[in-house]
Amino acid sequence: MFSEIFNYDNPVWRFIGKFCDLLILNILWILLSVPVVTSGAATTAVYYVTLKLVRDEEGPTIRSFFRSFKENFRQATILWLILLAVGGLLAFDVYFFFFIQKEPSLLRTAMIAIFGGFLLLYCFTSLYVFPLQARFYNPLRRTLFNALIMSVRHLVFTLGMLAADVFLLLAAIFLLPVLMPLLVLFGFPLIAFINSYVLVKIFDRYMPQEETSTAAP
């Protein structure tokens, strides 16, 4: 009985081990996101590890994180800067027509609808960009294009991930303060871990059959 309890292959221990990995990932992600410009590479590295955790391909967490951070640094940083610039522009446009240009008009309504739609597509694409960078080797444009196409093609999964992420954040802040310590301890890696359960199912559809059971590159 005791041998089963203290067996590290026990599902309970494996579950606890994954949350310890998330705790480590959160510390690394925060430290390497402080310069801001490195946030893209840090986020890619988090997804590199969480996609492995979901597939039960656990390895040395810290080593895997820094391996991905180093290998994807250049492209992930460029992707992050692009998303940051586009997101800032879209957010300003929506803010302008909602709160500054308040006079009702057909043009205002049309602009809110157009930029609101672009903002939604931006959110969809952002969910996939860094996981794709972590899982596949593609040129910059191909990664952005695939992120957009996948997010629309698998719209139900995309909406599910977006809703779950937003709900978790809002619930922790406004509804269930008991969840706040979880976000403090595990932070973004917890969200990435939850998303990875969905992303693995999507990504497996694009992998050759013989590679779906192997470790991520």
Q: What is the identity of the amino acid at 42?
A: A
pTM for this structure? Answer: 0.86
pLDDT of residue 96: 84
Per-position b or e across 51-90, b if 16+ CB within 10 A of its CB: bbbbbeeeeebeebbeebbebbbebbbebbeebeeeeeeb
Collect contacts of 207-215 with beta carbons under 8 A, ≥24 apart.
215/52, 215/55, 215/57, 215/59
Q: Name the percent of the chain lying above pLDDT 70.
A: 87
How far is Cα of residue 72 from the mean position of the Cα atoms in its chain? 15
CA dist., res. 29 & res. 129, Å (int): 17
pLDDT in tens, 180-201: 777 778 889 999 999 999 999 9
Q: For residue range 109-145, what is the model confidence (pLDDT) as tens digits?
A: 888 888 889 999 999 999 999 999 999 999 999 999 9
Query: What does pLDDT average to over the chain?
Result: 86
The DSSP symbol for 174 reads: I
Rounded Cα–Cα distance for residues 121 and 59 (Å): 34
Question: 192: closest CA among 118, 120, 134?
Answer: 134
Residues 6 or more apart whose Cβ sits within 8 Å of residue 48: 64, 65, 67, 68, 72, 134, 135, 216
Are 108 and 97 within 8 A, CB to CB? yes
Contact yes or no for 7/13 (Cβ under 8 A): yes
Q: Which amino acid is at 206?
A: Y
Amino acid at 63: R
How large is the angle between the packed helices 73-95 and 140-153, nearest 10 degrees?
A: 60
Q: State the average pLDDT over residues 99-108.
A: 78
What is the Cα–Cα distance from 60 to 55, expressed in whole angstroms? 15
